[in-house]
Chains A and B, each alone.
Chain A
Amino acid sequence: DAGVTQSPTHLIKTRGQQVTLRCSPKSGHDTVSWYQQALGQGPQFIFQYYEEEERQRGNFPDRFSGHQFPNYSSELNVNALLLGDSALYLCASSPVAISGANVLTFGAGSRLTVL
């Protein structure tokens, strides 16, 4: 099992452009969460997808949107890129658990640089 895989690993964009990041969850996981990690900061929650719907959302503007596909993979889209969007974007997957005690498995991240 490759765990959580993310692509691309690195990319450079200019202000105003749009970007799409991709994530394949760990085998057996059906919930995907996205986090933004700016330099020197801890990861910040963007949103979570389950059953192809956005279930929870953090304090991020509508420029950040996502999608989950029937095979549980997910995309993160960011429109009208700003310099401040430069960060490591982490995808994490987890199985849905009744107890809520499930654990996130993180991918290696996609490093976005906005010039």
Chain B
Amino acid sequence: AQRVTQPEKLLSVFKGAPVELKCNYSYSGSPELFWYVQYSRQRLQLLLRHISRESIKGFTADLNKGETSFHLKKPFAQEEDSAMYYCALRGHSGNTPLVFGKGTRLSVIA
């Protein structure tokens, strides 16, 4: 069964502190992994995906197949990073649907 687990509902960090949002997954095969973000009063948008290996807004995420994890990291949190973050996966074949975790709310304290 496909499953995405985000163990933390809420994560509060001080501005300038490192951030790590945890994501573990269950999938038989090699999935594509994504992080989506929803800022206050805005729509859900893609932050990054593992196949592109990009760093977006200072965030990075490495796929660890051994630990089936895709944790989102940023070395120095900014107030504008406060948002809801969703980890998601899908299979590689065609337009397979995204499976989302329940999300983690990141609150960056000034």
Contact = CB atoms under 8 A, between A and B. Distances in A.
B83 interface: no
A102 B49 CA distance: 11
Contact of A55 (B86, B92, B95, B102): B95
- Say whether chain A's binding surface is mostly helix, strand, loop, or mixed: loop
Contacts, number: 53
Nearest to A4: B43
Interface in A27-66: 31, 33, 40-45, 48, 50, 55-56, 58
A44 B43 CA distance: 16
B95 A100 contact: yes
B44 A90 contact: yes
A107 interface: yes
Interface string B45-62: 110010100000000000
Given A106-B45, A107-B43, A41 B102 contact: yes
A42 B86 contact: yes
Nearest to A95: B95
Contacts of A108: 43
B81 interface: no
Contacts of B49: 103
A104 to B, nearest CB: 7
A100 B99 CA distance: 15
Interface string A81-115: 00000000010001011001111101111000000
A106 B44 contact: yes
B95 A94 contact: yes
B43 A56 contact: no
A100 B94 contact: yes
Contacts of A102: 95
Interface string B1-21: 000100001000000000000
Contacts of A48: 95, 97
B27 to A, nearest CB: 15
Interface of A: 31, 33, 40-45, 48, 50, 55-56, 58, 90, 94, 96-97, 100-104, 106-109
